């Protein structure tokens, strides 16, 4: 788990601002759920044999004896909230977005943290292929608007409960004679959930899985038609994609479309930044009526690593102050509180640094912020109820009455 220091915050603001406004434009509404949930929720959704439950989830017992967990992902919580708050009576689809920290006891490494942040969207209550395509479109647009254009959409269909079992049997046959060539984890996966062997990150396992049969050969008519239509919509929207016959999601509740945004071969890092798909079985799995749904989650830590690796400038629009207030001595500091608030209230974008004492260090900050005007409020001025306006470009200074300064600044800034 890591700290996000002040100088890092601009990256987070840059990404979240764009992500939120894009989601709002597409009629997604923000939802916030607790970071702590009952352990039961994830046992039921992710499933006992999943990586998340087997090795990654943080759990604890409360003094009252409840088994709780830090959420490892967002979707299960959102579906719980959807059901608990009776959102199923709202007009469908219900479109929600969220962001916040997720917790996984994973092996920390580049781009993999024990607390990481995700931004995600979910569309609940619509089975049509347009939804899958819209979600992919949205992730694509978001990456582009952040200045990240080196990602490919990898896409596959995982079928559903009518066609997947036959595929799983074939996959089992395929791996049966190859268990010696895969990692220890995969030998466990072979017994518990063979599909996950396709998702292993070990080189030796990837090598074995290359020859595994593709699931698309096993899709039934409905799943095939759905998949085809998703691809058609993507073609029409000119979203390039790569069919990846071995792409699966780590969680059991996914059905049909699954996708990931993976950097192209020329990129330095090979970290997946967006992962998602359709999960038509999760809502009934958690006690609701059978309701189709789809969504994705974006790993924000990895997005920010990518922004830095690609040296993308994250200029903060609207955060630039126009005026800096310098104050020296106790009397000026005391009066500064009210003056600062008066400037701020009248709509002037002003900054000050009350803690600092020397005029030199305060002017240095003013220069760094690139303000046009600095107000200098010294001991003498505080006694006389005056203040100095300094134009930063020319260095020209003028002493004015304190009670006039707000109006004068308003006029100067209008010019």
Q: Name the site residues for ligand ATP (rule: CB under 6 A).
A: 73, 104, 106, 111-113, 116, 118, 250, 272-275, 297, 299, 301-302
Nearer CB in complex with ligand ATP: 131/198: 198
Kind and range of the H or E run holding 151: strand 151-157
Whether the link from the prior residue into 93 is cis, omega within 30° of 0, is yes
Q: How far is the CB of 370 from ligand ATP (least distance, A)?
A: 34
Largest CA distance in the chain: 91
Nearer CB in complex with ligand ATP: 159/263: 263
Nearer CB in complex with ligand ATP: 280/301: 301
CA trace torsion 324, 326, 330, 336 (10° rounding): -30
118, two tokens: 């995700």
Binding residues: 73-75, 104, 118, 122, 249, 253-254
285: buried, middle or exposed (CB in 10 Å: 19+, 13-18, 0-12)? middle
110, two tokens: 């580049």
Distances (CA, A) of 323 to 363, 403, 408: 11, 17, 12
Name the residue number minimizing CB distance to ligand ATP.
Answer: 299
Q: How far is the CB of 201 from ligand ATP (least distance, A)?
A: 7
Q: How far is the CB of 189 from ligand ATP (least distance, A)?
A: 13
Tokens 């949930």 belong to residue: 37
Q: How far is the CB of 203 from ligand ATP (least distance, A)?
A: 15
CA trace torsion 263, 269, 271, 273 (10° rounding): -60
Nearer CB in complex with ligand ATP: 126/301: 301
Nearer CB in complex with ligand ATP: 52/371: 52
Binding residues for L-histidine: 73-75, 104, 118, 122, 249, 253-254
Asked if 263 and 151 count as a contact pair (C-beta separation under 8 A), the reply is yes
Q: How far is the CB of 292 from ligand ATP (least distance, A)?
A: 19
Comparing CA positions, the residue from 78, 91, 160 lying closest to residue 125 is 91
List the end-to-end C-alpha distance of the chain, in Å, as a whole number: 48
189: buried, middle or exposed (CB in 10 Å: 19+, 13-18, 0-12)? buried
Where on the phi/psi map is residue 321: left (φ > 0), alpha (ψ -120 to 50), or beta? beta
Asked if 253 and 277 count as a contact pair (C-beta separation under 8 A), the reply is no
Asked if 119 and 16 count as a contact pair (C-beta separation under 8 A), the reply is yes
Q: How far is the CB of 141 from ligand ATP (least distance, A)?
A: 17
Nearer CB in complex with ligand ATP: 131/273: 273
Nearer CB in complex with ligand ATP: 50/352: 50
Nearer CB in complex with ligand ATP: 82/103: 103
Nearer CB in complex with ligand ATP: 234/304: 304
75, two tokens: 């979707």
Asked if 278 and 134 count as a contact pair (C-beta separation under 8 A), the reply is no
Q: How far is the CB of 275 from ligand ATP (least distance, A)?
A: 3
Strand bridging mode 151-157 / 241-243: parallel
Q: How far is the CB of 298 from ligand ATP (least distance, A)?
A: 6
DSSP per-residue letters across 318-342: T---SEEEEE-SHHHHHHHHHHHHH
Q: How far is the CB of 228 from ligand ATP (least distance, A)?
A: 25
């Amino acid at each position: 788990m890591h700290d996000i220091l002040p100088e890092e915050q601009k990256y987070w603001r840059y990404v979240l601002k764009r992500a939120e406004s894009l989601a709002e434009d597409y009629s997604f509404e923000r939802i916030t759920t607790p970071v702590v949930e009952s352990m039961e929720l994830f046992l039921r959704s992710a499933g006992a044999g999943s990586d998340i439950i087997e090795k990654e989830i943080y759990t604890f017992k409360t003094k009252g004896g409840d088994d709780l967990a830090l959420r490892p992902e967002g979707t299960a919580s959102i579906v719980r909230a959807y059901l608990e708050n009776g959102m199923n009576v709202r007009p469908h689809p219900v479109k929600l977005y969220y962001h916040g920290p997720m917790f996984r006891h994973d092996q920390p490494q580049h781009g993999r943290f024990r607390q990481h942040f995700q931004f995600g969207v979910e569309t609940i209550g619509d089975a049509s292929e347009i939804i899958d395509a819209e979600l992919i479109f949205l992730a694509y647009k978001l990456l582009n608007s952040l200045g990240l254009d080196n990602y490919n959409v990898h896409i596959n269909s995982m079928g559903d409960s009518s066609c997947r079992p036959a595929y799983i049997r074939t996959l089992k046959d395929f791996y049966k004679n190859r268990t010696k060539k895969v990692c220890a984890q995969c030998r466990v996966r072979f017994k518990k959930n063979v599909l996950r062997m396709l998702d292993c990150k070990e080189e030796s396992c990837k090598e074995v899985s290359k020859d595994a049969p593709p699931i698309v050969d096993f899709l039934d008519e409905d799943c095939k038609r759905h998949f085809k239509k998703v691809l058609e919509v993507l073609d029409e929207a000119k979203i390039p994609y790569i069919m990846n016959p071995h792409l699966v999601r780590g969680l059991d509740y996914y059905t049909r479309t699954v996708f990931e945004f993976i950097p192209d071969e020329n990129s330095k890092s090979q970290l997946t930044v967006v992962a998602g798909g359709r999960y038509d079985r999760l809502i009934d799995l958690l006690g609701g009526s059978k309701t189709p749904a789809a969504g994705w989650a974006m790993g924000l830590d990895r997005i920010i690593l990518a922004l830095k690796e690609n040296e993308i400038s994250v200029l903060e629009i609207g955060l630039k102050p126009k005026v800096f207030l310098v104050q020296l001595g106790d009397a000026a500091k005391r009066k500064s509180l009210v003056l600062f608030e008066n400037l701020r209230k009248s709509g002037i974008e002003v900054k000050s640094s009350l803690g600092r004492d020397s005029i030199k260090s305060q002017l240095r900050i003013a220069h760094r912020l690139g303000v046009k005007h600095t107000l200098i409020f010294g001991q003498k001025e505080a006694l006389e109820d005056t203040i100095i306006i300094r134009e930063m470009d020319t260095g020209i200074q003028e002493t004015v009455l304190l009670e006039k300064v707000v109006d004068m600044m308003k006029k100067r800034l209008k010019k």
